[in-house]
Amino acid sequence: MEETSGILVDLFVLFAAAKVAGELFLRARQPPLVGEVLVGILIGPHALGLVGSPDGSLIDLFEGKGGEEAAEEALTVVLDVLALLGVIILLFFVGLETRLRDLLDVGGRATLVGVLGIIFPFVLGFALIWTTDPANAEDLEIEAAFVATAMVATSVGITARVLGDIGAIRTRESRIILGAAVVDDILALLLLAVVSGLGEDNIDALELGLTALAAVAFVVFAALVGTRVIQQYSIHLERLQIGNAPFLVAIIVMLGLSALAGFIGLAAIIGAFLAGMILAEAKERFNLEQQALPVYEFLVPFFFVIIGTKVDPGAFTDGTVLAVALGVTALAVVGKLMGGGLASLGMPGRSAAIVGTGMVPRGEVGLVAASIGAGIGAISDDMFSVVVFMSMATTILAPPALVWLYRGYRFEAPEVTKAVEEPGLPEL
């Protein structure tokens, strides 16, 4: 176990940097998450290089098993697992703020936002890459399809954090965004499965159909049956002898549904979100939010700062790469605004703009699509950098826009028991 203690230096640097940056951005009245991502870029291996390099004892572990290269990959895996735990806790908290009946209230609208918010960015992105072919792709259709897919999926964690920071998590627009993000995530992952299949030259329609079926069954089952089980049986948790049993069972459900989501081919965060939504039925009785808050504050910063470390700012010194990156980013924003706006017809203009803007951040979901594409060789290194830029830029642009759109908005009084001082998600 001591061979890994060098990794503690990385964890210390990441956590301390995230918190210092968060504090500075708060003082400058900016969302702390932007500070956390930017400081991640600064300390990451592409800039100062303060994190991400394995030390001697870690390299020794991989002697004869890939050596230094494998040790570096292993360190990345460790940090990715921490980031994954962070984003899982984040989505769990979002779920805790989401009651199923609230979600069903906005279900039709959310589905429409989700579907249109997929179609517009995909078509626009595909058209841009297909008509310009900026990277002289070997297989242009596949590359265009991958970039377009990366432009599709909203990273609801970023939006949820901003909505939480400004106390707007329980507004109607927030519920539509969160509902749409569930639809959006499921559709985007199906799309990714299709495009990956195309990229690997062996698309299997039956397997794809089964994945789709499993996904829908998982969401419906978890939401309907899980909610009922918690409503009826959570009272028995008080009979367990182990300390803080409800909180520990909540963690088990969260890890279990996240693992199950990953197992059936969905993003793990969907399982975490559903776990939170199921447990929202029991959160007041057991004070789950206050219990889980320190775990949130410990792990969530790792997600944002580690996302930052993955960005290579050097790629954009090339003018073409920069131009394509700006074009893809612009279409990614416009596509979501068009989708959200069209789906929100009949709502006040500001609400439609909020819904569209809330769907803009791509965050880690775009990065996942990019890394899968790069992994199977379907997109070039330059297009990888472009997609990363788009993910980061949309993530950085959306928060101030949302704050601006919500200025002067009168929030309903929060009805939750206020263990947490601020309504909604804790600031970080």
Q: Which residues between 298 and 337 bind its own copies (CB under 8 A)?
A: 298
Of 56, 73, 314, 318, the residue at the interface with its own copies (CB under 8 A) is 73
Q: Does 238 bind its own copies (CB under 8 A)?
A: no
**3-class DSSP state for residue 27?**
helix
Between CA 219 and CA 403, with CA 342 as vertex, the angle to 5 degrees is 80
Of 48, 77, 217, 220, the residue at the interface with its own copies (CB under 8 A) is 77
Q: Which amino acid is at 53?
A: S
Nearer to its own copies, 153 or 219 (CB): 153
Nearer to its own copies, 126 or 303 (CB): 303
Binding flags for its own copies, 38-67, as an x/- string (CB under 8 A): --------------------x-xxx--xxx
Of 96, 177, 367, 370, the residue at the interface with its own copies (CB under 8 A) is 367
Q: Which of 19-27, 178-186, 229-237, 326-334 is the region at the interface with its own copies (rule: CB under 8 A)?
A: 19-27
Q: Does 69 bind its own copies (CB under 8 A)?
A: yes
Of 111, 258, 344, 357, the residue at the interface with its own copies (CB under 8 A) is 258
Q: Kindly state the smallest distance separating residue 28's Cβ from its own copies, in Å.
A: 10
Q: Kindly state the smallest distance separating residue 282's Cβ from its own copies, in Å.
A: 16
Of 202, 206, 236, 242, the residue at the interface with its own copies (CB under 8 A) is 242
DSSP 238: G
| DSSP letters spanning 330-395 | HHHHHHHHHHHHHHTTTS-HHHHHHHHHHT---HHHHHHHHHHHHHTT-S-HHHHHHHHHHHHHHH
Which residues in 236-252 are b (16+ Cβ under 10 Å) and which e?
Answer: ebeeeeeeeebbebbbe
131 exposure class (CB count in 10 Å sphere: 0-12, 13-18, 19+): exposed
Q: Which amino acid is at 218?
A: F
Of 100, 156, 193, 292, the residue at the interface with its own copies (CB under 8 A) is 292
> What whole-number distance in Å separates Cα of residue 368 and Cα of residue 310?
12
Q: Does 2 bind its own copies (CB under 8 A)?
A: yes
Q: Does 209 bind its own copies (CB under 8 A)?
A: no
Cβ contacts of 265 within 8 Å, gap of 6 or more: 189, 193, 211, 214, 215
